[in-house]
Amino acid sequence: MASQQSDDDIFVDSPTNKHHRFFPSSPKLITMKRDQESTFDTVTPLTRQMKSSSISASESGDNERTTPLRRRPSVLDEKALRETDTKTVRDQRIQAITRSYQGILDSIGEDSTRQGLLKTPKRAAEALVFFTKGYEQSIRDVVSDAIFDEDCENMVVVKEIDIYSLCEHHMVPFFGKVSVGYLPNKRVLGLSKIARIVEVFSRRLQVQERLTRQIAEAIAEAIEPRGVAVIVECQHMCMIMRGAQKVNSRTTTSAMLGVFREDPKTREEFLSLGGIKPF
Amino acid sequence: MAHLSESSNNDDINMNNLHIEDKKNDVRRSSVLDEGTLRENESESKHEQRLDALKNAYGIMLNSVGEDAMRQGLLKTPERAAKAMLFFTKGYEQSVRDVVSDAIFDEECDNMVVVKDIDIYSLCEHHLIPFFGKVSVGYLPNKRVIGLSKIARIVEIFSRRLQVQERLTQQIAQAIEEAVQPLGVGVIVECVHMCMVMRGAEKVNSRTTTSAMLGNFRHNAKTREEFLIIGRNSSF
State the CB neighbour count (10 A cutoff) for residue A114. 11
Chain centroid to CA A240 = 25
Cβ <8 Å between A81 and B60: no
Give the active site residue among A167, A199, A214, A234.
A167
pLDDT of A71 reads 58
Give the active site residue among A150, A153, A168, A268.
A168
Chain A residues within 8 A of B63 when measuring between CB atoms = 96
Cβ <8 Å between A135 and B65: yes
Cβ <8 Å between A120 and B128: yes
Cα–Cα dist A49/A64, whole Å = 10
State the CB neighbour count (10 A cutoff) for residue A67. 8
Supply the ipTM of this predicted assembly: 0.82
* DSSP conformation class of A34: B
Using CB atoms, pick whichever of A82, A100, A124 lies closest to residue B66: A82
State the CB neighbour count (10 A cutoff) for residue B73. 15
pLDDT values of chain B reduced to their tens digit, one per residue, 236 residues: 444 444 444 444 445 444 544 444 444 457 888 888 888 888 999 999 999 999 999 999 999 999 999 999 999 999 999 999 999 999 999 999 988 888 899 999 889 999 999 999 999 999 999 999 999 999 999 999 999 999 999 999 999 999 999 999 999 999 999 999 999 999 999 999 999 999 999 999 999 999 999 999 999 999 999 999 999 998 88
Handedness of CA B236, B185, B151, B37 (dihedral sign): negative
Using CB atoms, pick whichever of B76, B89, B119 lies closest to residue A108: B89
Task: Fill in the amino acid letter for A262.
Answer: E
Using CB atoms, pick whichever of B66, B87, B198 lies closest to residue A242: B87
Q: What backbone phi and psi angles, to 5 degrees, belong to A72?
A: -95, 145
> Shortest Cα distance from B116 to chain A (angstroms)?
16
State the CB neighbour count (10 A cutoff) for residue B178. 18
Please say if A236 is a catalytic residue. yes
pTM of the model: 0.79
State the CB neighbour count (10 A cutoff) for residue A160. 14
> Shortest Cα distance from B25 to chain A (angstroms)?
24
Mutate to test the interface with B, among A171, A202, A206, A249 (most CBs of B within 10 A): A171
* Domain B44-91 of CATH type 1.10.286.10: yes
Question: For chain B, what are the domain ranges?
Answer: 44-91, 105-230
Cβ <8 Å between B121 and A104: no
Handedness of CA A122, A125, A127, A130 (dihedral sign): negative
- B102-111 as b/e, with b when 16 or more CB fall inside 10 Å? ebeeeeeeee
Chain B residues within 8 A of A118 when measuring between CB atoms = none
CB pairs under 8 A between A and B: 144
pLDDT of A26 reads 39
- Please state which CATH class domain A87-133 belongs to: mainly alpha
* Domain B105-230 of CATH type 3.40.640.10: no
Chain A residues within 8 A of B119 when measuring between CB atoms = 247
- B200-221 as b/e, with b when 16 or more CB fall inside 10 Å? eeeeeeebeebbbbbbbbbbbe
Domain A145-273: CATH architecture, name and number where available = 2-Layer Sandwich (3.30)
Cα–Cα dist A75/A219, whole Å = 9
- Minimal-distance CA residue of chain B relative to A102: B57
Please say if B174 is a catalytic residue. no
Q: Could you tell me if B13 lies within 8 Å of chain A, comparing CB atoms?
A: no
Residue spans of chain A under pLDDT 70: 1-72
pLDDT of A253 reads 96
State the CB neighbour count (10 A cutoff) for residue A12. 10
pLDDT of A85 reads 85
> Shortest Cα distance from B211 to chain A (angstroms)?
20
A4, A81, A241, B236 from A248: Cα distances, Å: 44, 34, 11, 10
Cα–Cα dist A238/B81, whole Å = 10
Q: CB within 8 A of B171, min separation 6: which ones?
A: B32, B35, B158
Q: Give residue-wise pLDDT tens across range A162-204.
A: 999 999 999 999 999 999 999 999 999 999 999 999 999 999 9
Q: Give residue-wise pLDDT tens across range B202-236.
A: 999 999 999 999 999 999 999 999 999 999 998 88
Chain B residues within 8 A of A110 when measuring between CB atoms = 38, 89, 92, 162
Using CB atoms, pick whichever of B57, B164, B199 lies closest to residue A103: B57
Chain A residues within 8 A of B125 when measuring between CB atoms = 116-117, 120
* Largest distance between two CA atoms of chain B: 73
> Shortest Cα distance from B161 to chain A (angstroms)?
9
Cα–Cα dist B135/B126, whole Å = 21
In angstroms and rounded to an integer, the radius of gyration of the C-alpha atoms of chain B is 21
Q: CB within 8 A of B147, min separation 6: which ones?
A: B100, B103, B104, B105
Using CB atoms, pick whichever of A110, A116, A171 lies closest to residue B38: A110
Please say if A20 is a catalytic residue. no
| Residue whose C-alpha is closest to residue A3's, from A52, A40, A36 | A36
Q: CATH 1.10.286.10 residue ranges in chain A?
A: 87-133
Residues 122-141 in B contacting A (C-alpha not used; CB under 8 Å) = 125-130, 132
Q: CATH 3.30.1130.10 residue ranges in chain A?
A: 145-273
